[in-house]
């Protein structure tokens, strides 16, 4: 198997020679030459009449690099440890005739990667080591790769393609500051580079960003016939809905003329001719961090558009998806009525499709694909496990240590666990932590992101009046440590407009209110009532801030603490209506007064909303305070307020 990167890019109205991003620079040539020479195909001369090429994929592995979860002590099966074993078995069967592709979302999601990114600045990222160790042929980035700062991202992409000597020579901002874990140098110095493949991560002029190549082309020989297989990658176009612009400066996620932001347009207008006519690929694989979706793509569903891609194109032989965590192997008819296999490993499997290559130049893509389960029947790869043990040990120690004492001396912690519908002690505590951190904020906005129905009251044994709390409990309370804390200034009408916008997610079922999802917030620091029986836009009543109607606070001087997920919206990417309601996002320099990740207090924990809750509890402990339910605690901010949700219409 040989490998080709780059080529002539065909832009509308002109073509130009592309010299490629950093991955093709002279200093990085050695690992690419190594990849090409070490994986050259077996077929020369006349040889066999046909060979089988195994296409293997993973996706949405979300930091799973070890067989134990530090947050609960339970075993984990769907890891890269088991992936490594499966891939070794497949390569033993098919030799060099394999292609291994990951469809993204790997550096966020576990206690190990959280500790690495938030506490160690992403040094020696274990996910990059896993990809290199296993020997992936292509990595297609997911949206969660953009959860972190440019420097953290750069370290990850550098590790995908550099050896230790090259890593030591990079600019200071992307240089490793922490000691290298044992054994990592051998992987970096001997394993082939892994190209990051994304055709729609672009500079404003439409050229690829420096960490990415739009495609790779690999060759396989059968007899005297050389087959060229192109792998075209796409990032999720919805990244701007979820992450701060500072994490992707001067970046487009589709060409500027692709107003609908569809992969089908990108293929038809930019990459079909490039791969078919210029690179002369016999076979094209499209891989994207995007779910299956539906036949029509619009602004409300463009994050999942793989079905749309197949149904509206020709010339693509196999499509690989991800993002929606849904295992899938099925056939979809393309624009010409041809069956195209769609594969999604769904975060629990390795998918497999066989392409038969014939020496007469014909080929056949199997219409049936396989899901190889990453379960207890698959052994862990002991070599990779040994490399990952240091990351596990550090993370385990980090989350297990008690950080504060909760008190029930003045009254028990309540048992509320649906914070979309009912105000409760647990999320009042979250809001108090946000107010404490965000420089004198008076209002906190958050959504219910706890898991496993965990609430603080479960920590109290029997009639005990005190209980210890650790970071593993905080992760149960607020699971998404990739949410970064910000402080902004809003006017009363702007805040009220958002409260109405978010209240649209409530529905009435009989005499009960239902509501959930990432678009549904509650507001702490404002007393208000929600009447779900009212029409959308007229549901918030009696909203009072500091003793006055909220709407009367017309100056934009209300300090509000909230996370980056909400604040990343823009006029073009506004899935939940935040920007429509407030007109404020991370680019609003006159409104953003606090960025946790840029402060000396919270930069060391990456500005993570989850870890800031931990810092708040640690600070309370350092002052000798036990932490009580905010409604009973005299040591809180003084902004405790009540909110309610009713299924009825306003009286």
For residue 581, give the CATH number of its domain.
Answer: 3.90.780.10
- Which domain-ending residue is among 393, 416, 432? 393
* Judgement on whether residues 80 and 96 belong to the same structural domain of the protein: yes
Are the beta carbons of 7 and 17 closer than 8 angstroms? no
Q: What domain range includes position 223?
A: 2-393
pLDDT at 45 (0 to 100): 53
* Judgement on whether residues 307 and 426 belong to the same structural domain of the protein: no
Establish how many alpha carbons lie within 13 A of residue 478's alpha carbon, considering only the half-sphere containing its beta carbon. Answer: 26
* Judgement on whether residues 343 and 280 belong to the same structural domain of the protein: yes
Chain centre distance of CA 617: 27
Q: Phi and psi dihedrals of 164, rounded to 5? A: -65, -35
The CATH number covering residue 342 comes to: 3.60.21.10
Q: Which residues pair with 445 in a beta bridge?
A: 523
* Judgement on whether residues 30 and 149 belong to the same structural domain of the protein: yes
* Judgement on whether residues 273 and 339 belong to the same structural domain of the protein: yes
User: Is residue 336 assigned to a domain?
Assistant: yes
The dihedral through the CA atoms of 312, 313, 314, 318 has a sign that is negative
Q: What letter does residue 552 receive in the DSSP assignment?
A: G
* Judgement on whether residues 439 and 317 belong to the same structural domain of the protein: no
How many Å is the maximal CA-CA distance in the chain? 87
Chain centre distance of CA 603: 20
**Helical pair 126-134 and 80-94, crossing angle rounded to 10 deg:** 20
User: Is residue 647 assigned to a domain?
Assistant: no
Q: What letter does residue 252 receive in the DSSP assignment?
A: B
* Judgement on whether residues 341 and 416 belong to the same structural domain of the protein: no
54-79 core/surface letters (b: 16 or more CB in 10 A; e: else): bbbbbbbbbbbbbbebbbeeeebbbb
User: Is residue 650 assigned to a domain?
Assistant: no
The dihedral through the CA atoms of 93, 99, 100, 102 has a sign that is negative
Q: Which residues of the chain have pLDDT under 70?
A: 1-46, 300
In degrees, rounded to 5, the angle at the alpha carbon of residue 25 between the alpha carbons of residues 23 and 29 is 80
* Judgement on whether residues 386 and 477 belong to the same structural domain of the protein: no
CA dist., res. 374 & res. 648, Å (int) = 48
CA neighbor of 435 nearest in space, from 422, 426, 444: 444
pLDDT at 3 (0 to 100): 59
**Helical pair 80-94 and 382-400, crossing angle rounded to 10 deg:** 170
User: Is residue 65 assigned to a domain?
Assistant: yes
- Which domain-ending residue is among 374, 393, 412? 393
Q: Hey, is 364 helix, strand or coil?
A: strand
* Judgement on whether residues 409 and 374 belong to the same structural domain of the protein: no
Q: What is the pLDDT of residues 47-78, one digit of tens each?
A: 799 999 999 999 999 999 999 999 989 999 99
* Judgement on whether residues 123 and 154 belong to the same structural domain of the protein: yes
CA neighbor of 332 nearest in space, from 348, 314, 351: 314
User: Is residue 36 assigned to a domain?
Assistant: yes
* Judgement on whether residues 405 and 289 belong to the same structural domain of the protein: no
Which pTM value belongs to this model? Answer: 0.84
User: Is residue 644 assigned to a domain?
Assistant: no
Close Cβ partners of 554 (under 8 Å, ≥ 6 residues apart): 491, 492, 493
CA dist., res. 319 & res. 331, Å (int) = 10
CA dist., res. 31 & res. 158, Å (int) = 12
Length of the chain: 651
* Judgement on whether residues 563 and 524 belong to the same structural domain of the protein: yes
Task: Tell me the three-class secondary structure of 365-402, residue by residue.
Answer: ECCCCEEEECCCCCCCCHHHHHHHHHHHHHHHHHHHCE
State the DSSP H helix or E strand holding residue 343, giving kind and residue range, or none if neither: strand 339-344
pLDDT at 376 (0 to 100): 96
CA neighbor of 290 nearest in space, from 331, 347, 234: 234
293: region left, alpha or beta (phi > 0 left; psi from -120 to 50 alpha): left
Close Cβ partners of 438 (under 8 Å, ≥ 6 residues apart): 485, 486, 487, 559, 561, 594, 596
- Spatial strand order of the sheet with 643-646 comes to 548-549, 540-545, 527-531, 643-646
Could you give the number of structural domains in the chain?
Answer: 2
């Amino acid at each position: 198997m040989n490998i080709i990167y780059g080529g002539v890019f065909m832009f509308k109205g002109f073509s130009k020679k592309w010299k490629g991003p950093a991955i093709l620079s002279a200093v990085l040539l050695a690992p690419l030459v190594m990849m090409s020479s070490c994986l050259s195909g077996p077929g020369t001369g006349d040889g066999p009449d046909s060979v089988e090429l195994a296409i293997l994929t993973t996706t949405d592995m979300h930091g799973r690099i070890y067989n134990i979860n530090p947050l609960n002590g339970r075993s984990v099966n769907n890891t890269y440890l088991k992936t490594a074993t499966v891939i070794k078995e497949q390569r033993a069967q098919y030799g060099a005739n394999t292609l291994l592709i990951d469809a993204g979302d790997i550096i966020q999601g576990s206690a190990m990667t959280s500790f690495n990114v938030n506490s160690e600045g992403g040094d020696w990222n274990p996910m990059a080591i896993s990809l290199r160790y296993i020997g992936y042929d292509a990595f297609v980035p997911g949206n969660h790769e953009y959860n972190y700062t440019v420097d953290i991202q750069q370290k990850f992409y550098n590790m995908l393609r550099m050896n230790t000597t090259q890593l030591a020579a990079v600019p200071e901002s992307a240089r490793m500051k922490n000691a290298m874990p044992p054994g990592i140098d051998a992987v970096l110095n001997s394993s082939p580079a892994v190209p990051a493949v994304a055709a729609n991560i672009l500079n404003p002029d439409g050229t690829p960003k420096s960490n990415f190549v739009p495609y790779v082309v690999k060759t396989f020989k059968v007899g005297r016939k050389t087959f060229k297989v192109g792998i075209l990658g796409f990032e999720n176009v919805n990244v701007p809905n979820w992450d701060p612009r500072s994490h992707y400066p001067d970046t487009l996620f589709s060409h500027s003329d692709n107003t609908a932001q569809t992969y089908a347009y990108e293929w038809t207008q930019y990459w079909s001719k490039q791969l078919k006519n210029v690179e002369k690929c016999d076979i094209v694989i499209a891989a994207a961090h995007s779910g299956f979706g539906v036949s029509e793509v619009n602004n409300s569903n463009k994050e999942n558009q793989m079905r749309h891609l197949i149904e509206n194109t020709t010339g693509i032989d196999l499509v690989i998806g991800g993002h929606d965590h849904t295992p899938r192997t099925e056939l979809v008819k393309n624009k010409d009525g041809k069956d195209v296999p769609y594969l999604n490993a769904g975060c629990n499997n390795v998918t497999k499709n066989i392409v038969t290559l014939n020496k007469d130049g014909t080929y056949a893509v199997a219409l049936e694909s396989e899901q190889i389960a990453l379960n207890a029947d698959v052994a862990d790869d002991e070599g990779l496990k040994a490399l990952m043990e240091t990351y596990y040990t550090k993370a385990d120690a980090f989350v297990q240590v008690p950080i504060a004492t909760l008190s029930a001396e003045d009254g028990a912690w309540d048992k509320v666990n649906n914070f979309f519908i009912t105000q409760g002690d647990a999320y009042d505590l979250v809001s108090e932590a946000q107010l404490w951190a965000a420089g004198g904020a008076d209002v906190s906005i958050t959504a219910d992101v706890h898991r496993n129905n965990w609430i603080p009251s479960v920590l109290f044994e029997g009639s005990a009046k005190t209980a210890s709390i650790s970071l593993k409990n905080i992760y149960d309370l607020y699971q998404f440590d990739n949410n970064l804390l910000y402080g902004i200034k809003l006017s009363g009408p702007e805040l009220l407009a958002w409260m109405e916008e978010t209240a649209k997610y409530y529905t009435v079922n009989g005499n009960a209110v239902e509501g959930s999802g990432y678009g549904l917030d509650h507001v702490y620091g404002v007393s208000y009532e929600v009447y779900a029986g009212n029409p959308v836009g007229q549901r918030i009543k009696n909203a009072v801030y500091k003793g006055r109607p909220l709407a009367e606070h017309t100056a934009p001087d209300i300090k509000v603490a909230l996370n980056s997920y909400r604040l990343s919206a823009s006029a073009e990417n506004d899935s939940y209506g935040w920007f429509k309601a407030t007109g404020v996002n991370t680019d609003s320099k006159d409104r953003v007064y606090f960025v946790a990740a840029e402060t000396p207090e919270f930069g060391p924990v990456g500005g993570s909303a989850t870890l800031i809750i931990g810092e708040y509890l640690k600070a309370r402990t350092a002052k000798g305070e036990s932490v009580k339910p905010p409604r009973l605690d005299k040591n809180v901010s003084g902004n405790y307020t009540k909110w309610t949700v009713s299924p009825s219409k306003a009286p």
